[in-house]
């Protein structure tokens, strides 16, 4: 068994379109590597600061991603290696394990698919695009159905003419 405690600072962007751990930011690894009969079992915590945008109002969102990782890296020619498809199992190659894809997958699955700045975020006004959280109370737009717009001018109030 071996324990690994590292901070990686030159990694790629890890996450989803709207929220991720930015490229080049610190990703902290607190991992335990154990030799088991079929390979190396990697368990532990991966964490990093996230940045993104609220899906409703596009305001910046930040936080911390902290993921518990459990992955088996199969030995070459082990029963697991021989009975599992290439894309279903991580493998040990040249006595080394590559944690990058396992970390990317675990973090991406843990991040919210629709990050919000607040649970009650109202989003943007569909007419003018102003954030509803900062708009005046009762913000609305008078909208005329385009099918009736031609009649609106016929029934508009005309100024009274003087005799």
Token pair belonging to 70: 């459990």
For all residues of the chain together, what is the average pLDDT? 84
How high is the pLDDT of residue 134? 75
Q: Which residue has the tokens 């991040």?
A: 111
CB 45 within 8 A of CB 99: no
How high is the pLDDT of residue 38? 81
CB 6 within 8 A of CB 46: no
User: DSSP labels for 4-35?
Assistant: EEEEE-S---EE-SSEEEPTTS-EEEEEEEEE
The model's confidence at residue 28, banded by pLDDT at 50, 70 and 90, is very high
Token pair belonging to 38: 């079929």
Percentage with pLDDT > 90 across the chain = 32
Token pair belonging to 127: 């007419």
Region 108-115 average pLDDT? 92
CB 81 within 8 A of CB 142: no
Rounded Cα–Cα distance for residues 114 and 97 (Å): 32
How high is the pLDDT of residue 100? 87
Strands 2-8 and 14-15: unpaired
Pick from 68, 64, 59: nearest CA to 122 = 59
Region 55-63 average pLDDT? 92
Token pair belonging to 97: 């394990």
How high is the pLDDT of residue 163? 55
């Amino acid at each position: 068994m071996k324990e690994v405690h590292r901070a990686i600072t030159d990694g790629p962007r890890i996450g989803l379109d709207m929220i991720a751990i930015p490229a080049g930011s610190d990703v902290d690894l607190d991992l335990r590597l154990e030799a088991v009969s079929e390979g190396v079992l990697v368990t532990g915590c991966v964490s990093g600061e996230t940045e993104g945008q609220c899906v409703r109002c596009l305001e910046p969102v930040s936080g911390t991603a902290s993921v518990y990782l459990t992955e088996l890296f199969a030995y070459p020619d082990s029963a697991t290696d021989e009975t599992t498809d290439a894309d279903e199992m991580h493998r040990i190659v040249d006595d080394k394990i590559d944690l990058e894809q396992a970390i990317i997958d675990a973090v991406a699955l843990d991040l919210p698919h629709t990050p919000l700045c607040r649970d009650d975020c109202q989003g943007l006004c569909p007419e003018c695009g102003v954030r509803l959280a900062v708009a005046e109370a009762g913000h609305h737009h008078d909208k005329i159905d385009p099918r009736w717009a031609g009649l609106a001018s016929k029934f508009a109030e005309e100024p009274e003419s003087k005799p």
